[in-house]
């Protein structure tokens, strides 16, 4: 693999041990994937240092203590607790204090403590053809598919790329990988963000991988709809990029996305595909004690919608309603008065984390000294196929997927309101 003079210097340890370690890992990664050289990156979305996983915070602290600093604009991914309003979510204080140590490591390294899976709503908006890295699949697919930036699913390598400003040229950093492999004919326009999530999950499950090209949307999807579509595609399958002609740079038509000829038989995206996902995630006897909206972390427009749906209403006793978002969006929603509306209704606005990433998770292996005991949940109502899968897999309680409007109605009535009547 061809390295620049500075790459060679970092690899030789001439710029310190943290950069030697980082470059050594990136070279190993590049050689494993046959990269011929490296690219300069312009942005990195990196590992938070998860307090629920033993020694994960120490990993970030050790880098910061050794003098590691980020070389490009960087933001931290979702954490295991709301670092400010943690009491309202019932997080153990010992877990929060450990997570706050990770935030300290990020500040020393120079990365933004965004602690979100949607850093673009918090102002991190890499532009077309920007090479970048991301530990979070939702960020990868949104930036590839909507913004036209170039990213793989990177794991902890994203931290090393942030430190060096370099990344091996393979995968979605190559033009050849950024072309359609499967055609999806849109026969039914999804009615809501939740429907886009359901459709994305079913398409991702059917395809498994590749680059899906969605053709013939009757109207241009909104940014929130595209975000939900991508998050679900990346959850049920190994998809890291999709193409919507007229949205995804530089493709104006579906034909542009298939420069090598016909993609073969198309998959049909219709109401049956949307309905299949809702039915897949309707479990138990319909009882629940938590409703969660905001996966991926809600945008400002979604917070506005939540406030409109809850204004003048009240969450039923015995039910919690969580709206999760980044701290940046929460601050904007607070200034606009939306957080006050939600809180008057009895909802909890949670930042930095979500149900699948907090102390609810039963698949983590925290240090016993933290005293983390996941609470037992009767059921969780969600409006996101991504959250539905991970609640089932990680929280391990019954999950009920419905639309955002019906999720909020369920929180108010105390009865589950399905997207499709039974």
Digit-coded pLDDT (tens) for 364-415: 888 888 889 999 999 999 999 999 999 999 999 999 999 999 999 999 999 9
| CB burial readout 255-276, b (16+ within 10 A) else e | ebbbeeeebeeebebeeebbbe
133: left (phi over 0), alpha (psi -120 to 50) or beta: beta
Looking at residue 8, its pLDDT comes to 98
Which ranges in the chain are annotated with CATH 3.30.499.10? 5-175, 282-413
Strands 166-168 and 38-40, by their bridges, are antiparallel
Distance CA 223, CA 245 (A): 14
From the list 405, 345, 358, the residue with the least C-alpha distance to 381 is 405
Residue pLDDT, tens place only, 238-248: 999 999 999 99
Is the domain 282-413 a CATH 3.30.499.10 member? yes
Distance CA 128, CA 124 (A): 13
For residue 150, the tally of other CB atoms under 10 A from its CB is 28
Distance CA 392, CA 107 (A): 34
- The answer on pLDDT for 422 being more than 90 is no
Residue pLDDT, tens place only, 136-174: 999 999 999 999 999 999 999 999 999 999 999 999 999
Q: Which residues pair with 203 in a beta bridge?
A: none
pTM of the full predicted structure? 0.97
Residue pLDDT, tens place only, 17-57: 999 999 999 999 999 999 999 999 999 999 999 999 889 99
Average pLDDT over residues 289-293: 98
From the list 82, 105, 102, the residue with the least C-alpha distance to 92 is 82
Instruction: Between 381 and 263, name the one with better pLDDT.
Output: 381
Looking at residue 261, its pLDDT comes to 74
Measured between alpha carbons, how far is residue 368 from residues 53, 55, 89, 145, 376 in Å?
A: 11, 12, 20, 41, 18
- The answer on pLDDT for 260 being more than 90 is no
Looking at residue 37, its pLDDT comes to 98
Looking at residue 118, its pLDDT comes to 98
CB 350 within 8 A of CB 323: yes
- The answer on pLDDT for 9 being more than 90 is yes
From the list 140, 163, 149, 176, the residue with the least C-alpha distance to 60 is 163
Looking at residue 294, its pLDDT comes to 98
CB 254 within 8 A of CB 180: yes
Average pLDDT over residues 291-304: 98
Distance CA 151, CA 133 (A): 5
Looking at residue 368, its pLDDT comes to 85
Looking at residue 367, its pLDDT comes to 84
Burial class of residue 88 (count of CB atoms within 10 Å of its CB; 0-12, 13-18, 19+): middle
Chain CA centroid to CA 100, Å: 21
Query: Helix or strand or coil: residue 181?
Result: coil
5-175 adopts what CATH topology? Aconitase; domain 3 (3.30.499)
Looking at residue 371, its pLDDT comes to 87
Confidence of residue 121 (pLDDT cuts 50, 70, 90): very high
Query: Helix or strand or coil: residue 265?
Result: coil
Residue position matching structure tokens 């109207």: 219
């Amino acid at each position: 693999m061809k390295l620049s003079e500075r790459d060679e210097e970092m690899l030789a340890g001439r710029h310190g041990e943290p950069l030697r370690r980082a470059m050594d890992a990136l070279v190993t990664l590049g050689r494993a994937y046959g990269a011929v050289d490296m690219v300069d990156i312009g942005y990195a979305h990196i590992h938070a240092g998860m307090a629920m996983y033993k020694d994960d915070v120490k990993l970030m602290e050790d880098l910061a203590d050794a003098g590691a600093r980020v070389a490009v604009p960087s933001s931290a991914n979702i954490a295991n607790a709301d670092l400010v309003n943690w009491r309202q979510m019932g997080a153990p204080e010992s877990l929060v204090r450990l997570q706050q140590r990770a935030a300290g490591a990020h500040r020393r390294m120079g990365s933004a403590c965004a602690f979100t899976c949607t850093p673009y709503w918090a102002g991190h908006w890499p532009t077309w053809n920007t090479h970048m890295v991301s530990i979070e699949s939702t960020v990868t697919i949104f930036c590839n598919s909507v913004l036209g930036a170039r990213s793989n699913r990177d794991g902890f390598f994203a931290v090393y790329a942030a430190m060096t400003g370099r990344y091996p040229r393979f995968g979605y950093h190559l033009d050849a990988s950024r072309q359609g492999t499967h055609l999806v004919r849109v026969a039914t326009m999804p009615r809501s963000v939740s429907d886009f999530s359901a459709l994305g999950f079913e398409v991702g499950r059917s395809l498994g991988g590749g680059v899906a090209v969605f053709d013939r949307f009757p109207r241009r999807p909104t940014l929130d709809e595209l975000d939900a579509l991508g998050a679900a595609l990346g959850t049920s399958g190994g998809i890291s990029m999709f193409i919507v002609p007229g949205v995804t740079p530089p493709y104006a038509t579906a034909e542009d996305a298939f420069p090598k000829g016909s993609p073969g038989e198309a998959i049909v995206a219709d109401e049956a595909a949307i309905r299949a996902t809702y039915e897949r995630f309707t479990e138990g006897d319909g009882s629940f004690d938590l409703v969660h909206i905001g996966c991926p972390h809600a945008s400002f427009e979604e917070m506005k919608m939540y406030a409109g749906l809850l204004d003048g209403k009240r969450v039923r006793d015995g039910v919690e309603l969580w709206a999760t978002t980044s701290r940046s969006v929460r601050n904007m929603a607070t200034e606009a008065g939306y957080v006050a509306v939600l809180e008057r209704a009895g909802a909890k606005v949670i930042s930095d984390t979500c149900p699948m990433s907090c102390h609810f998770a039963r698949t983590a292996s925290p240090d016993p000294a933290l005293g983390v005991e996941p609470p037992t949940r009767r059921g969780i109502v969600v409006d996101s196929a991504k959250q539905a899968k991970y609640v089932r897999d990680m929280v391990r309680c019954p999950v009920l997927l419905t639309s955002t409007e019906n999720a909020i109605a369920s929180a108010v009535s105390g009865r589950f309101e399905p997207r499709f009547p039974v």
